[in-house]
Chains A and B, each alone.
Chain A
């Protein structure tokens, strides 16, 4: 999900929406080359103030699934490997790795010159301490541990060699390992217990956390000893900025006002309504970085959406392109697949698989037997109305999604659908979710190809106490088989081909209605240069610099 623009109270929702595995998505490496070109020679020193639109519940990315946690900790945490924009895995704190023939063990050779900012040396024991910390139930990991899959344990082979073992092949491992949710924290800090990680995270990164003030912000100073930059960084050595501050400004208009008045130098989530103004402002630049997809999921196991024709009719009845275009001022584009277009493995063919076609929608509903109309003009069948129960969290709404839902409600009413928008609390939502007491649910995710498994694999249909993410409750033996093959294959091309097949099939069967491709809208003063983005679209500050004045 969108780990990016999440207002504060929504931090919790984020818990709900966040969390699918990572985006292989794109734009790694950042914009450095270009930025340096238009800004002259990089300046050393100075302070950058950055404002975000949500606040972290937990500061430790091993625990939290939140975007804002990732943004806060990426400056201090490095990873064993890095992903570039093409989705290729590159060495970072690990100089090389080898996969065993049975594909169950990864042996990493580590850099020997790395130290944590508290002085602890980085070695194989530190890697083991981190990976074990992620799966320790006491860490209460809401994301990283489940991405770890069948992790068995880590062996310290020698001081700078670590072997990570799995119970069965788990091909997404290197990708997730590159994310900040698997960032390397100082083992000395980890030993102090979760309370230490609530107030500071200590890593090997280009910045060192100085002071975290909940609800307000966090300050950093640069790590002068840093010489192990990510392979995606534009320069090696210590960060250019002497200081970095991240503030939490949850109100859109305040965050934007703070940027235009020069009180902060850059912000996440420029409000779409301000985009045109921002683009005209000569002192500002807005970077649009595709991140994930916002979709509707029909419940395929009970109610009207068990019928594929009714599902297809619903998505054909809505002119999503026009609705999305006018509501977001062109900031977001219409989506066709649960994957966003820049993600490796995106199936471009989905763009012609479906679209706005009210005549087809009407025909499908007739074919499905919803031919009668009641007094209010809604279609009926055997005395039942064509009703869609749709729980929405109005209190935690963001990106005007509730408004969009109302517009969709009006659109499908023309075809005879009655959409009941049920305004529920977070807890009521989870109860309904657990009991599958809904016809439609909406959420967004930072979908990468591997996350399709969370969305559409039979094993991810919620049953028992654990809530899982297959909201469509979709179950298909063929698709399950493709997921198994993808998990077991370390051949990237083969995996992506399998995920393309998945997208084609779930689109054909209308088990997901993709709505829009969300972009991180990062606004910055023209004095600021070199902010990069990792493959999950989180900002990187290692190469950032700011002109004086």
Chain B
């Protein structure tokens, strides 16, 4: 949904010029972001309430917790207040930047997220960068090449998309960590510990992006301007790098925004396999325990990140495509 919106928007916005329309666009963006926030918070609040069973049961299980402990939890977290009141209180606090306290972890939500977010972001960013670089190289090498080259490449890409990250992760660990000992399996946050999880994440990213990029390249290579460039005596590599690549990048940028969200959302598997801290594990635990403040906090932060990434990518469009810069 979001990616198609961002994809169409740039040309329209670029048609207007000057400072005021730009401000207007910025204001619109901001308003839309607030709506996205509100929607995300409300939807998650609703979803968690719709899960059968009470929060206090989820927290206590069938342990022999006393009725006093039960009452204490209900009182402390305001679980006996009407839903609407709980919802409004939460919204009010969230507006002031107070995401509340975790029911389960005995610490403020901002602190819990702060402790995990950095690790998740480092991993997402490195996986994405690696995937993007690999996809660019692969697409440039295989576009419009002999049929078997493309067939092999497509086959490998299909494999890359289909392999479960979980399995790839264990395979990578077995080979490069347990057998060869090149990378630590349990390295934590150091650069060496980041390599294998980043590769595991980058494999499906590379596969998806290569396909999209190659298609874009092939379309561009059939354009008349390519013929003109070649007629000017430009080398094949020059044509691909200077002319075709730019054309192929636009849909890739759109896709990157969407993939970023997918990666961040699917992080829990990679985090588990590689024993890394991160928001994925934080939120999965929180959902199971109906730890509402943590779930909502992660949703708010993810929404913010997603919006920020997409705004940044929107800014990239005119850089890549001069036709979108508005000016003549």
Which residues of A are interface residues toward B (Cβ below 8 A)?
8-9, 11-13, 15-19, 51, 55, 57-58, 60, 63, 65, 137-138, 140-143, 145-147, 194-195, 197-199, 213-217, 247-251, 253-254, 257-258, 260-261, 263-264, 396, 425-428, 430-431, 433-434, 454, 460, 462, 465-469, 471
Contacts and interface: CB of A to CB of B under 8 A. Distances in A.
Contacts of B272: 8, 250-251
A251 B170 contact: yes
A465 B185 contact: no
Nearest to A470: B62
A204 B288 CA distance: 35
Sorted nearest first, the 9 A-B pairs with minimum C-beta distance are A427-B53, A146-B64, A137-B72, A16-B61, A15-B61, A215-B277, A198-B106, A467-B62, A257-B178
Contacts of B186: 51, 247, 249, 258, 263-264
Nearest to A260: B178
A50 B107 CA distance: 26
Contacts of B60: 15, 142, 467
Contacts of B58: 12, 426-427, 430
A251 B274 CA distance: 8
Contacts of A467: 57, 60-63
Contacts of B188: 213, 216-217
A468 B104 contact: no
A274 B54 CA distance: 40
Nearest to A11: B285
A18 B173 CA distance: 32
A466 B70 contact: yes
A468 B115 CA distance: 35
B177 A263 contact: yes
B107 A195 contact: yes
13 contacts: A9-B285, A60-B106, A137-B68, A142-B61, A143-B63, A198-B107, A214-B116, A214-B282, A254-B275, A263-B186, A264-B186, A428-B53, A466-B66
A445 to B, nearest CB: 11
Chain B contact patch, size range: 35 or more
B181 interface: yes
A253 B57 contact: no
B277 A57 contact: no
Interface in B85-141: 104-107, 112, 115-116
B278 interface: yes
Q: Which of B61, B62, B185 has the most CB of A within 10 A?
A: B62
A261 B178 contact: yes
Nearest to A256: B178
Contacts of A248: 275
Given A16-B63, A254-B170, A465-B70, A430 B275 contact: no
A263 B107 CA distance: 32
A263 B184 contact: yes
Contact of A18 (B56, B63, B66, B185): B63
B105 A198 contact: yes
B271 interface: yes
B18 interface: no
Contacts of B271: 215
A217 B60 CA distance: 24
B185 A254 contact: yes
A14 to B, nearest CB: 8
A226 to B, nearest CB: 28
Contacts of B115: 213-214
A142 B178 contact: no
A8 B53 CA distance: 22
Given A214-B116, A247-B186, A431-B53, A19 B63 contact: yes
Contacts of B53: 426-428, 430-431
B65 A145 contact: yes
Given A17-B61, A51-B186, 19 more contacts: A8-B285, A16-B61, A137-B66, A142-B60, A142-B63, A146-B64, A214-B105, A215-B116, A249-B186, A257-B177, A258-B178, A260-B178, A261-B181, A425-B51, A425-B52, A454-B64, A465-B70, A467-B57, A468-B64
Contacts of A146: 63-66
Q: Which of B52, B57, B72, B289 has the most CB of A within 10 A?
A: B57
Q: Which of A146, A147, A433, A466 has the most CB of B within 10 A?
A: A466
Contact of A249 (B52, B106, B275): B275
A223 to B, nearest CB: 25
Contacts of A137: 66, 68-69, 71-72
A8 B268 CA distance: 11
B290 interface: yes
B174 interface: yes
Nearest to B271: A215
B51 A142 contact: no
Contacts of A15: 59-61, 63, 289
A258 B193 CA distance: 13
B102 to A, nearest CB: 9
B23 to A, nearest CB: 43
A257 B174 CA distance: 7
Contacts of B51: 425, 427
B97 to A, nearest CB: 19
Contact of A57 (B62, B71, B104, B116): B104
A58 B285 CA distance: 12
Contacts of A460: 64
Contacts of B275: 216, 247-251, 254
Given A19-B63, A142-B63, A468-B64, A215 B107 contact: no
B73 interface: yes
A323 B284 CA distance: 32
Interface string B273-309: 1111110011011001110000000000000000000
Contact of B185 (A194, A258, A433): A258
A60 B67 CA distance: 20
A253 B289 CA distance: 26
A295 to B, nearest CB: 15
A194 B101 CA distance: 12
Contacts of A258: 177-178, 185-186
B208 to A, nearest CB: 25
A197 B69 contact: no
B49 to A, nearest CB: 11
A312 B63 CA distance: 28
Contacts of B106: 58, 60, 63, 194-195, 197-198
Given A195-B106, A425-B51, A143 B181 contact: no
A214 B66 CA distance: 28
A431 B52 contact: yes
B62 A469 contact: yes
B289 A57 contact: yes
B285 A57 contact: yes
Contacts of A213: 115, 188, 277
